[in-house]
Chain A
Amino acid sequence: MKFIRITGLYIFIVSVLLSITTLFMGSYTLTSSSIEEAFSGKKSRVSETLTVVAKENGLLNKTYPNQFSFMEDVKILLNKYNTRITDDLTKERGISSVEKERVLSAATKEGKVIYSQEIINQSLSENKAKLLHDGTNWMYTSNKTYEYEENFEKDLTDKINEINRQLAGEYVLYDNKYTRFDITERSATGIITNNKVLFLFLTFGLGVIGSLMYIITGLFLKPIPGIKNNGIYFNNAINRGWVGIIVFGFLVSFYVLLYFYPYIIANWTNIVDPLKSIFIKNGSASQWFLYGILYTVSMIVMGIRMFIKYRHNQYQIVRTASVLFFQIIFAFLLVEILPLFDLPGVDLKNAWPLDYNFLTDWNVKNYLEAGHLGKFLFFWGFILSLVVVPVLVYFYGKRWYCSWVCGCGGLAETLGDPYRQLSDKRLIAWKIERWTIYPILIFAIVMTIVVGMNTYDIIATPNNPNNHTFLGINAYKINEWYGFFIGSIFAGVIGTGFYPILGNRSWCRFGCPLAAYMGIVQRFKSKFRITTNGGQCISCGNCSTYCEQGIDVRSYAQKGQNIVRASCVGCGICSAVCPRGVLKLENAPNDGKTRHEIPEVILGNDVNLFEMLEENK
């Protein structure tokens, strides 16, 4: 058994090393077909022109040994392509500089500016005149006059550039992570792309097999059920030792690559193409599909570990089964399946404000364009956040979401479980927590209002969108900032990447706005509490040590006080590890008193004495 366990560990390590190696395998070649595939979603002129530009610059069919040298040239190519397509389109349909000069000279006579629709019509062909009229009619309204020629020239030039840019808009390929990823993924060639299934097995397959060998043998090596936290603080991997630091480096790098440089891990997405093909014929996986697979598989494997480790604890079993169910069905399968029915591929359990794009224009459009069912799903989003969430928190505490349903929570409770003891229990950490999580909630609310107003404008008056600003804040900017700092850096890089350093719930504890929202409900209006069993506590500290939310459970338990805390996610581990049976998660009537107050007999001390102690508190 021990042998199988160790072998499993080695297999797992080999699979990880192999996965990393695959990033450096194969080569990259830009071909007309790879270009076509990468931009199949765009107008065919895009790939055609790009192919031409590539050819002219000698980049077509050139082979690169790795994605980095490939990207150097792609950057140049994109630049050239963009110049070319803008020029071409301007020539065809836009307003050229010659034409601009024509308008300019027609509108300025002897140092005076007289600009009007007639001037435009005189100077340009019908189509172009209309373009310029639509873009600049505000420049000749009655209350707009130009004293100086220079001002007029500047406005006109700006506007014409904007018009030209807009014309080219759908053809321009912005040099961003998406474009880079699409083109890299399709240009990858060689051993990996030719043997996707084999590599899927060698990386993911072996990884799963190895870890399961390691995990399942635990059942035989520790045959007697019970809390087995032996050696946790001697283990390098989960006690901020060197293994932990390596894992930390690996996780953080993975998130940085995934969020900001997905083109670097294009080979990984190629490897999971066979899985994507289950849903769509010849499917090509995006980085999000890769992430979804990794996420779900880690949760399942580590969920099995939970089932084994806590097999004596029915609460843990049911709860783990629940998070796995919601991850597999809602966060993974439905997201893949809904689009097959022309519905938006959304995670239906992802509630605002955790889902910070709920009211973003493209998201709302996705819903509204998907018929009645789509509209219903949009409506469900509101019901979920505004009714279902608070009502269930009232009855069961925020645990119903955080440790039964949520994806972030689900990962934290499975993959993250070995790291739970690393959360900071100090009072100062609690103070910091309150100074981060509530401001983030406010940030999320403000962001949503601004973005929501913008979406409303776009949808209500599609022809006349305002300047995307509300309360003086630009909707796209704030959305982007939130997405970058909170959505990517905090929730991903820190939230998961820092498992081996900060414990498994640093996002849920310090960052998640939904947790903040539910926490307020839980703290002030809920039936949920952790009941303390009278005077049985021996202050051993197991409960506090293993609280992933850094709650000093012992400080309540040893006073005989119930635990009513905004941050408690109800994972139930304090109750599981307590050697004296002191803690019980309960939903009970809430009359305030029974939930918070220190009951009289807690210390087992004489009732009278206790009343007197109460008086003196």
Chain B
Amino acid sequence: MEHIVIIGNGISGVTAARHIRKLSDKRITIISAETEYFFSRTALMYIYMGHMKFVHTQPYENWFWKKNRIELKKAYVTQVNETSKELVFDTGETMKYDKLIIATGSKPNKFGWPGQDLEGVMGMYHKQDLESLEKYAPNNKVCKRAVIVGGGLIGIELAEMLQSRNIPVTFLVREQSFWNGVLPAEESEMINRHIREHHIDLRLGVNLQEINADEYGKVKSIIIKETGEEIECNIVGLTAGVSPNIDFLKGSNIELGRGVKVNRMLETNVKDIYAIGDCAEQHEAIGERRPIEAVWYTGRMMGETLAQTICGNPKEYTPGHWFNSAKFLDIEYQTYGWVWAKPKENEARFYWEHKDGKKCIHVSFDKNSREFIGINTFGIRLRHHSFNTWLNEKRSVDYVLEHLADANFDPEFYKQHEKEIITKFNTEQQTQITLKKRNWKRIFSY
């Protein structure tokens, strides 16, 4: 029986395993050094915040793996030997494979800051990071202040985590406004406000110079490069992005860039070795997507796709239209299609913000053809199916806004803002569109 070995029990590896099992009877082994069983990395924050226990982050009960004949091994792979088709573990043990799937995910970036390996400095990626956070920042008596370096999605989650235990947070963000490499200025500014409203000490446009230690080698303070200011703190969270976790492959013949190089079939340059999830890097970016996509659903999609290929049904990885979501403290964010931080040459924008300053939508469309390109939505939930269909059908912005009520996904009884949105749109664009009432027939056709 063919033995499929998967390194990494994250969403991509596990999805691949599950689908291979659905489609075939092959022997499947998943290896991970992090945890015995699959858990949702995205939920790490909720454990520290006390919303959940670790067990709640596990999407499958422990009996699931045996029942589905998926073997689990907890070990760290130090080496891949492609000629003998063998893995070497840190214990010296080895394991044979017929096909190998690399799904090792990411690791936090470190940019060579002085003091970055001190006790009390941590990323927020693995379960072990959570454990060390629990150790160094169990409460605001042990941890009087935390400094977070890097203003991305994980950074703000870490800030929210610490805040839930009333630990004062200083948040160093290199950009002039929060996450403005991705978010347009208006949304970015809204989030700046919201962060400050939560009494998080947000420092924009600053870099970390160095981290200082006390006499025991533990974090004592940090220095800000631009101002030279020293901020005393007990922990430092490094959340300046992630990069593929592939150092252990460096000695092999597998082609590496920033990640493991793969083609659209998710194959590496070595036969029978594949890579999926955060650690895979496309030779050529797909559409406007980045070559490395470190998000949850792409890992899942790659896993599903590769399972097809491995089970004799070769398929290209074809992610559909871009979408994503996040939550900034109390403000939910969703996006469908593309709304770049800065409009491209051909793009026009429409922005509406609610008077309470916590809800907005930002629509991008083609100046000339008026084709809808993408939407950012904050504080209003929108229906994925609707936008996916509208993007497929290349609908105009006018059409999309006319049918906006169909796409509203807020819970019942929520105040709806479509009318206000359309009025603003009509004034700005000198159009005469009217809002169509929600229609189930249409919704189901999306």
Contact = CB atoms under 8 A, between A and B. Distances in A.
A225 interface: yes
Contacts of A111: none
Given A224-B198, A313-B411, A606-B318, A426 B61 contact: yes
A539 B325 contact: no
Contact of B411 (A233, A558, A576, A589): A576
B334 A585 contact: no
Contacts of B315: 609, 612
A572 B411 contact: yes
A232 interface: yes
B381 A533 contact: yes
**What are the 6 closest A-B residue pairs judged by CB atoms, nearest first?**
A534-B384, A226-B330, A606-B318, A581-B381, A540-B43, A314-B413
Contacts of A585: 411-412
Which of A313, A575, A594, A616 has the most B CB atoms < 10 Å from its CB?
A: A616
Given A540-B57, A589-B440, A609-B305, 15 more contacts: A233-B52, A234-B50, A531-B409, A533-B409, A540-B43, A572-B411, A572-B412, A599-B385, A601-B384, A603-B297, A604-B301, A605-B301, A605-B318, A608-B318, A609-B308
Contacts of B382: 581
A420 to B, nearest CB: 12
Contact of B49 (A225, A231, A588): A231
Contact of B46 (A317, A540, A609): A540
A488 B194 CA distance: 50
A540 B51 CA distance: 11
B289 to A, nearest CB: 11
B388 A545 contact: no
A46 B319 CA distance: 85
Given A538-B296, A545-B51, A612-B313, A604 B388 contact: yes
A191 interface: no
Contacts of B321: 604
B330 A613 contact: no
A315 B415 CA distance: 10
A442 interface: no
A496 to B, nearest CB: 25
Interface string B293-318: 00011001100110010000101001
Contacts of A608: 318
Interface in A509-544: 531, 533-536, 538-542, 544
Interface in A565-601: 572, 575-577, 579-581, 584-585, 588-589, 594, 599, 601
B111 interface: no
Interface of B: 11, 22-23, 40, 42-43, 46, 49-53, 56-59, 61, 164, 197-198, 296-297, 300-301, 304-305, 308, 313, 315, 318-321, 323, 325-327, 329-330, 332, 334, 381-385, 388-389, 392, 409-415, 440-441, 443-444
Contacts of A555: 59
A534 B323 contact: yes
A318 interface: yes
Contacts of A314: 411-415
A541 B56 contact: yes
Interface residues of A, number: 60
Contacts of B49: 229-231
A71 to B, nearest CB: 46
B411 A603 contact: no
A4 interface: no
A607 interface: yes
Contacts of B198: 224
B257 to A, nearest CB: 24
A231 B320 contact: no
A606 B320 contact: yes
A545 to B, nearest CB: 5
Contacts of B304: 603, 605, 613
B392 to A, nearest CB: 7
A554 interface: yes
A233 B385 contact: no
B412 A542 contact: no
B332 A579 contact: yes
Interface in A297-346: 312-315, 317-318
A539 B325 CA distance: 13
Contact of B56 (A317, A545, A572, A606): A545
B50 A601 contact: no
Interface in A541-557: 541-542, 544-545, 554-555
Contacts of A426: 61
Given A581-B325, A603-B300, A606-B320, A617 B43 contact: no
A312 B385 CA distance: 25
B409 A224 contact: no
B50 A540 contact: no
A609 B266 CA distance: 15
Contact of B392 (A315, A576, A607): A607
